[in-house]
């Protein structure tokens, strides 16, 4: 039970207030939240790339409907981009270091260092790739597909940023998971490049119908 002063007298306050956790207040809280959203962003981004590679390779066609596969890929992409943007903007509210919108969104010139800037470039590439889905019919499916493949270098930059900027260097589980996800991405990407699937006009129409 907590006590508060009232008219010179100390009276009990019936609502129990939670104890403040030492060392996790203010900027420390923002840093922790930014770190959590960063891990959500990275792992969902890796899952998006893995799911996309599986989608292109048609390995799951015998188990799931094509529309379901497209839906899973898009859902993961939305989670990845949303959590990445939240991770970036959270730094604007910190007081222990200066971040404004220019520093968050403009690499190098805005004042961000190299580690942060490569993450900015990677995120902006992925955002462009994500929003390009609404312009498929205007630029043709083939051209859009070439643009869509820029997600691979975009993710590579994000992965590099994640590895260099991570504050949780002592968490072996996170690094093990990071390594497994990266190996899966590399394997599926190389497999995709060595034996690319020939995309048919039917694939294009199916994708257009789903996206719209």
Residue 100 has pLDDT above 80, yes or no: yes
The proportion of the chain whose per-residue pLDDT surpasses 70, expressed as a percent, equals 74
Residue 209 has pLDDT above 80, yes or no: no
The mean pLDDT value of the chain amounts to 79
pLDDT confidence of residue 37: 94
Distance of CA 210 to the CA centre of its chain: 22
**Interatomic CA distance for residues 212 and 195, integer angstroms:** 29
Q: Which residues contact 8 (CB under 8 A, 6 or more apart)?
A: none
Grade residue 4 by pLDDT with cuts at 50, 70 and 90. very low
Q: What is the mean pLDDT of residues 151-171?
A: 82
pLDDT confidence of residue 172: 66
The proportion of the chain whose per-residue pLDDT surpasses 90, expressed as a percent, equals 31
Query: What's the pTM value of the predicted model, to 2 decimals?
Result: 0.74
Our CA dihedral for 110, 147, 130, 35, rounded to 10 degrees, sits at -50
Q: pLDDT digit string (tens) for 168-189?
A: 655 566 677 777 877 887 887 7
Where is 109: in which H helix or E strand?
A: none
Do residues 111 and 103 lie in contact, with contact meaning Cβ atoms separated by under 8 Å? yes
pLDDT confidence of residue 207: 47
Q: What is the mean pLDDT of residues 17-28?
A: 57
């Amino acid at each position: 039970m907590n006590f508060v002063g009232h008219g010179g007298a100390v009276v009990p306050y019936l609502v129990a207030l939670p104890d403040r956790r030492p060392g996790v207040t203010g900027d420390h809280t923002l840093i922790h939240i930014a770190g959590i959203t960063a891990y959500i962003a990275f792992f969902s981004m890796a899952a998006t790339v893995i799911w996309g590679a599986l989608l292109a390779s048609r390995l799951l066609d015998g188990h799931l409907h094509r529309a379901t596969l497209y839906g899973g890929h898009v859902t993961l992409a939305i989670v990845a981009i949303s959590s990445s943007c939240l991770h970036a903007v959270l730094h604007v509210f910190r007081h222990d270091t200066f971040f404004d919108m220019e520093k968050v969104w403009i690499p190098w010139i805005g004042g961000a260092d190299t580690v942060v800037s490569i993450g900015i470039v990677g995120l902006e590439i992925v955002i462009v790739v994500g929003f390009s889905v609404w312009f498929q019919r205007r630029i043709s499916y083939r051209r859009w597909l070439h643009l869509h493949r820029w997600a691979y270098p975009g993710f590579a930059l994000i992965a590099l940023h994640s590895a260099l900027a991570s504050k949780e260097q002592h968490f072996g589980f996170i690094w093990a998971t990071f390594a497994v996800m990266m190996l899966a991405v590399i394997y599926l990407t190389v497999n995709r490049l060595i034996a690319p699937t020939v995309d048919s006009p039917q694939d294009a129409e199916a994708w257009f119908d789903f996206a719209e």
